[in-house]
Every structure is written in structure tokens, then in C-alpha cells.
Amino acid sequence: MDIKINGVYKHFKGDYYIVIDIAYNVDNMERCVIYRALYGDGKLFVRSFDDFMDVVDKKKYPNCKQKMRFELQNIKSIRGE
């Protein structure tokens, strides 16, 4: 699965984030996702690619409706663009 740069993603707990870019950990070349909160003070976060793309643990969160930890949102322009 690929990550959409500048895509808006919904975390399974409900908040929204915009993906800024993909980066690599200099120590082990692990691929990471850099993303910014679209709430509060807009904190910048980094998480491993695998964690970002992980499936929600339904045993730990049995009432969660979302399948993936982060899901890309299809946001349409009100101008039809």
C-alpha cells in the first residue's frame, strides 16, 4: 500500500492528519511517515510506515469501526475540482 503525500487521513480514534512526506531513519533506513495534526496547534509527528499502515487491534478496540489505524479520506472540493 502507498501513502498519499498531502492526503488527509483519519486516525481510528477520530482525529485528522495530513501526510507531509516519507522519511528514512538514518540508523536503520526504516521508512517513516511524517504527518501533521489538523487540530490544536498542528503538532508534527513521525511514525514508522508499518505502524501507520497497521490494522486496528480489534481485541484491544472491539468497538472500532475503522479497519486501518489511518484511513485516507476522500475530500471533495465544494467547487467540484
Cα–Cα distance for residue pair 42/37, rounded to 1 Å: 5
pLDDT (0 to 100) of residue 75? 86
Q: pLDDT-based confidence at 81, cuts 50/70/90? A: low
Query: Higher confidence at residue 40 or residue 59?
Result: 40
Determine the pLDDT at residue 77: 82
What's the pLDDT band for 1 if we cut at 50, 70, 90? low
Q: Which domains does the chain have, with CATH numbers?
A: 1-56+71-81 (2.30.30.320)
Dihedral angle, C-alpha 39, 6, 72, 31, nearest 10 °: -100
At residue 10, the pLDDT reads 97
pLDDT band at 45 (very low <50, low <70, confident <90, very high): very high
